[in-house]
Structure formats: C-alpha cells, structure tokens
C-alpha cells in the first residue's frame, strides 16, 4: 500500500515538472493614433523571446493588425541581455515598440511614423 501511494506521488511530481512554467504577460501602449496590445508568450526564464504578439488598433477607423514578432535585447554577449523593446515585421514594414513608449513604423531606412505613448500594464 505504501509503495502504491509513493508511486502515485512520484507520478504526480513527474507530471507537474513536465509542464513548462510560463511567464507570459500582456501590456498595452496607447499613442495618439493607436492602441497596441503586446502579448509575450514565452516560458519563464527565457531571456529573449520570439513568440510575441502585436495587436494594433488604429483609432480613426478601428482597423486592426495582428503580427508575430520578438523581443529586442541588448548586451546579450556580456550576459545581461536587457530588454529594450519589441519588433514586428509585416511585408517590409517594421513596427518597433520601445519600452520608453515610442512606436516607430519604418520601411527600409524610411521612418513612416514615430509616436510617443503611455504603457498600461494589464
């Protein structure tokens, strides 16, 4: 009987450790012309993330754009790997959102839009 209980407990512990712990989070940025939601969907402990979702709503007509992107990190070679923003690419147009609340939309080297917004964590 004790062996059965012990086996069941070991099985439960094994199952619970087989699932990856996720530290996903959602933040929203509101600028003059856009409301942007950022969903970071990466396992806990990952320093960089290639599974970030962008949902942008244009205020003037409620047009919505959803993109998959990545985190932008610096100093990864020195070991600190600090997050400084997010990047999303759609047909040659790059949407960059910086942690200080700046949204930049570029095509190649041409800046199409730059707006400062306010973060609202959810």
DSSP state string for 44-106: TT-SS-S-EEEEEEETTT--EEEEEEEEEEE-GGGT--EEEEEEEEETTEEEEEETTSEEEEE
Percentage of residues in the chain having pLDDT higher than 70: 80
pLDDT at 11 over 80: no
pLDDT at 36 over 80: yes
Burial of 34: CB neighbours in 10 Å, binned 0-12, 13-18, 19+: buried
pLDDT single digits (tens) 52-104: 999 999 999 999 999 999 999 998 888 888 999 999 999 999 999 999 999 99
According to the model, what pLDDT value does residue 107 have?
98
Residue 101 zone, left/alpha/beta (φ > 0; ψ -120 to 50; rest): left
């Amino acid at each position: 009987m004790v062996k059965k209980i012990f086996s069941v407990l070991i099985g439960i512990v094994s199952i619970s450790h087989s699932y990856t712990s996720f530290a996903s989070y959602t933040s929203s940025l509101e600028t003059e012309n856009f409301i942007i939601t950022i969903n970071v969907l990466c396992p806990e402990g990952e320093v960089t993330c290639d599974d970030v979702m962008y949902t942008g709503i244009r205020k003037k007509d409620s047009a919505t754009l959803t993109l998959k992107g990545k985190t932008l990190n610096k100093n990864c070679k020195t070991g600190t790997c600090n997050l400084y923003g997010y990047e999303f690419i759609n047909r040659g147009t790059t949407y960059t959102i910086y942690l200080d609340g700046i949204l930049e939309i570029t095509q190649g080297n041409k800046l199409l839009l730059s707006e400062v917004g306010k973060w609202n964590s959810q």
